[in-house]
Every structure is written in C-alpha cells, then in structure tokens.
Amino acid sequence: EAQVTQNPRYLITVTGKKLTVTCSQNMNHEYMSWYRQDPGLGLRQIYYSMNVEVTDKGDVPEGYKVSRKEKRNFPLILESPSPNQTSLYFCASSSRGQANQPQHFGDGTRLSIL
Amino acid sequence: TQLLEQSPQFLSIQEGENLTVYCNSSSVFSSLQWYRQEPGEGPVLLVTVVTGGEVKKLKRLTFQFGDARKDSSLHITAAQPGDTGLYLCAGHRVDSNYQLIWGAGTKLIIKP
C-alpha cells in the first residue's frame, strides 16, 4: 500500500530535549516536505527536499533541521524544542515538486513541548 | 499574511443544503488544488484545476478555477454528513513551482 509513515504519532516532551520525527514514503517520490498545522494558520511549510541531498527552507524553518540521505526518508529534527513548537506536524511527498502533482500526506505527529 | 484567503472559516449546515467555499488571492497561480482533511488524518487531494475558467465535478462537488487563475470555489450540492471535514485549498504560484501556498481552511459540519 502506497503510504507516508510518520513516527511517533504523539509526543509530549520538555523544553530543550532534542527530538526527531521520522518520515518514510514507499512511492519512490522525489519531493518531500514538512508542514506544521496550527489553528487559524493552516499548513505552513517548514522545509522541503527536491531530491536526495537537496533541502531548502520553507516559510517557517527556524528551530528545525532536516536531512535527506536516502530517497525514502526525510526526518525532522528539533535540536532544542521550545513551547512555541507545540503543533501538529505533517510530512508529505509527491513524485515531483512541480505544479499539478498531488501531495501525499502522513497521518500527522502531535507534538507538545512543555 | 495569508496569500490564499479561504471563506468562510467555519460553516455548519443541515443535511441536504447547498454550500460554496471560496479561495481567493491577489496572486496568479499555475494550478490550484483542493484537499479534504478529517480529524486524525492528513489532507487528501480531491482535485487539481489548471486552466483559467476550468470546472471539474466530483459527484456532488463542483470545483471552479477563476478566469484569471487568482481564485477558486468549491460548491457542494445536497450536502451529506459524510462531507464533514476541513477543506483546504493550495496553489502553486506562477513564479514558484516548488512551493505550495496553503489557505487556512474551511471547517465544514453537516448536521443530519
């Protein structure tokens, strides 16, 4: 089954404790991205990757890191999480980054930073 | 500043009624997508519109792309409880094919 898998689905942690949210897709997609979703603000892109070893900042990259060492994986790293990073996070992939390509989303990771 | 403005933000209506959701911008988009998101899940693509003036139908849902490719609408005929969800529009601006710009969404509740 074609899917984007995120882990963990839920995480409660404390300020400053490094965490990683994993994302894996099995569709051989070139393009992957991370979003955060906050009430009233919609989806805001954090980082995206056009292909292996190519990553770029989205609209809200501060406080986050990503890597794309393999095509299927695109982890999101919070080196020193802060309460303002409490949010619902989605990973998405598409076959290419160009227009008209549908984004396939994971089921989300709800992060709470205390 | 939201580059894609969706309205209304929230809509609660009775089963069987019709409704329209709008997605507006001052920017021109090369394409525009509509997604539906249900609680606990990621958004799922409903349709992509590409040509100015284009109309696409998906059962009781009708999507239209504005002639100038700056706006879009989603019309639902005879809404059903299964249509309940968060509807999101997203577009690729003509000057950037790699970033999707998202609206904040319309939360739709259809009461039986």
Residue pLDDT, tens place only, B70-102: 999 999 999 999 999 999 999 988 776 667 889
pLDDT for B97 equals 60
**Euclidean distance between CA atoms A73 and B51, whole angstroms:** 34
Q: Is there a contact between A105 and B103 if contact means CB atoms under 8 Å apart?
A: no
pLDDT for A2 equals 82
pLDDT for A97 equals 64
Q: Is there a contact between A4 and B2 if contact means CB atoms under 8 Å apart?
A: no
Question: Residues B9, B38: contact at Cβ < 8 Å?
Answer: no
Residues of A in contact with B98 (CB under 8 A): 31, 48, 50, 56, 97-98
**Euclidean distance between CA atoms A20 and B68, whole angstroms:** 42
CB atoms within 10 A of CB B84: 16
Q: Is there a contact between A42 and B105 if contact means CB atoms under 8 Å apart?
A: yes
Q: Is there a contact between A99 and B97 if contact means CB atoms under 8 Å apart?
A: yes
**Euclidean distance between CA atoms B75 and B55, whole angstroms:** 11
Cα dihedral B6→B8→B10→B15 (10° resolution): -120
**Euclidean distance between CA atoms B62 and B55, whole angstroms:** 7
Residue stretches of chain A with pLDDT short of 50: none
pLDDT for A99 equals 61
Q: How far is A108 from chain B (nearest CA, A)?
A: 6
Report CA torsion sign: A13, A14, A19, A23: positive
pLDDT for A5 equals 97
**Euclidean distance between CA atoms A35 and B47, whole angstroms:** 20
pLDDT in tens, B21-58: 999 999 899 889 999 999 889 999 999 999 999 999 99
pLDDT at B68 over 90: yes
Burial label for A112, CB within 10 Å (0-12, 13-18, 19+), is middle
pLDDT for A36 equals 96
pLDDT for B2 equals 58
Task: Tell me which residues of chain A, numbers 34 to 53, contact chain B at a CB-CB cutoff of 8 Å.
Answer: 35, 40-45, 48, 50
Q: What is the mean pLDDT of chain B?
A: 92
pLDDT for B71 equals 95
